[in-house]
Amino acid sequence: MAKTYYFPPIVIMGPGAVELIVPEIQRMNVKKALVVTDQVLIDAGVAKIVFDVLDAAKIDYTIFSDVKPNPTVTNVNAGYQKLLDDECDFVISIGGGSPQDTGKGIAILATNPGDLRDYEGVGKTANKSLPIVGINTTAGTASEATINYVITDEDRKLKMVIVDPNCLTTVAVNDPILMIKMPKSLTAATGMDALTHAVEGYTTAGATPFTDLFNLEAIKVISKSLRKAVADGEDLDARDAMAYGQFVTGMGFSNGGLGIVHSMAHQLGGFYDLPHGVCNAILLPYVVHFNADAVGDRLKDIAVAMGVDVSRREPKEINIMAIDAIKKLSKDVGIPTGLKEIGVQEKDFGELADLALADICTGGNPKCPTKEEVMAIYKAAF
């Protein structure tokens, strides 16, 4: 059956990549950028690397930095108003998933009427967003590469998942030099987010031979590089490999889908304002265990990609080895071991399960869970 695949039209990768955005912007016939970032990146001097490139090229811009770690509808609306007030006609997003997703929401509102809540779900906009130059500073979400973005609706305490080809960036940039100052905890969390994308993307019901290529490659690269990137943030080779790995799986899961790790993690983020990557990392092995009997030999492929020797092993043993490899990587990079440790409350499991089942990512899970099974996974990960 024929299928449409979506990728950013221009991809710039590698050390010094940010300097190559200038000719791409000049070809866009645009006048002024709204730069969407956060105050942490400004204070750390990371955003300044991009500002210096823009200043040297005399590219006009204004800055919007009021972006929360779990960006909200309020953040997007404020950014959109800033874009209108300062007469900007394109967006440059600098950061990880939070600025990238916020920038997408702003660029969509600029070309489509109504409230962002109107576009929750799949493909509900009529018009392409304003041009977006997505400059990634973490190796995790791959939002600079995907047709997805996630914004929290504060009123419902719910993360809205929006899947929309119209939000795809015009230029996707991954420069590992911008990632060197990322702290160990954020490196670990975003790296495990990327691994979750790859594992879920490889086992999702929507996987194809084409998306499998991306996701298996990402599992190999992330498994080899994440520990090094966490141990030494200035290891440029490890940073470059992680930037590549997270981008590759972004192209995979954006075109194949995910599963209930993300459905369940979205609710934890919306409910408790927790880091998305940490929630994914804690839940991942338990969801993989739940799905094991529905994915054929795919856990064997994952185990091999993670460097596990599965020769002369029985299928059930191989499944356990794959899960243990995921747990070990998570432990080695310092991820908390359970949901209780990060403030999740057991009394909320029922409501969280209801919300997770309604999440758009649930449809991609290889095994259809009941509410009781979702609650049991939260309990196992507690």
72 pLDDT above the threshold of 90: yes
Q: What region, left, alpha or beta, does residue 223 occupy, with left being phi > 0 and alpha being psi -120 to 50 degrees?
A: alpha
Whether the CB-CB separation of 253 and 225 falls below 8 Å is answered with no
Question: Percent of the chain having pLDDT more than 70?
Answer: 100
Residue carrying the six token digits 């990512």: 361
Question: For residue 224, what are the contacts with CB-CB under 8 A and spacing of at least 6?
Answer: 241, 307
How does pLDDT run across 214-248, given as a tens digit for each residue?
999 999 999 999 999 999 999 999 999 999 999 99
- Architecture of the domain defined by 10-179: 3-Layer(aba) Sandwich (3.40)
Q: Please give the Cα distance from 181 to 120 (Å, whole number).
A: 34
How does pLDDT run across 179-217, given as a tens digit for each residue?
999 999 999 999 999 999 999 999 999 999 999 999 999
Query: The pTM is what?
Result: 0.95
pLDDT of residue 274: 93
**Length of the chain measured in residues:** 382
Q: Please give the Cα distance from 173 to 176 (Å, whole number).
A: 10
Average pLDDT over residues 8-24: 97
pLDDT of residue 17: 98
Predicted confidence band of residue 1 (pLDDT cuts 50, 70, 90): confident
Tell me the residue type at 318. I
How does pLDDT run across 249-307, given as a tens digit for each residue?
999 999 999 999 999 999 999 899 999 999 999 999 999 999 999 999 999 999 999 99
Predicted confidence band of residue 157 (pLDDT cuts 50, 70, 90): confident
Q: What is the CATH number of domain 184-380?
A: 1.20.1090.10
Predicted confidence band of residue 338 (pLDDT cuts 50, 70, 90): very high
State the Cα angle at 313 between 307 and 315, rounded to 5°.
Answer: 95
Can 10-179 and 184-380 be said to share one CATH topology?
no
Tokens standing for residue 357: 């089942």
172: helix, strand or coil:
strand
Residue carrying the six token digits 């094991």: 292
Average pLDDT over residues 342-355: 97
User: What are the structural domain ranges in the chain?
Assistant: 10-179, 184-380
Average pLDDT over residues 131-151: 95
Predicted confidence band of residue 364 (pLDDT cuts 50, 70, 90): very high
Q: Please give the Cα distance from 339 to 341 (Å, whole number).
A: 5
pLDDT, averaged across the chain: 96
How does pLDDT run across 4-15, given as a tens digit for each residue?
999 999 999 999
Please state the φ and ψ torsions of residue 60, each to the nearest 5 degrees: -75, 140
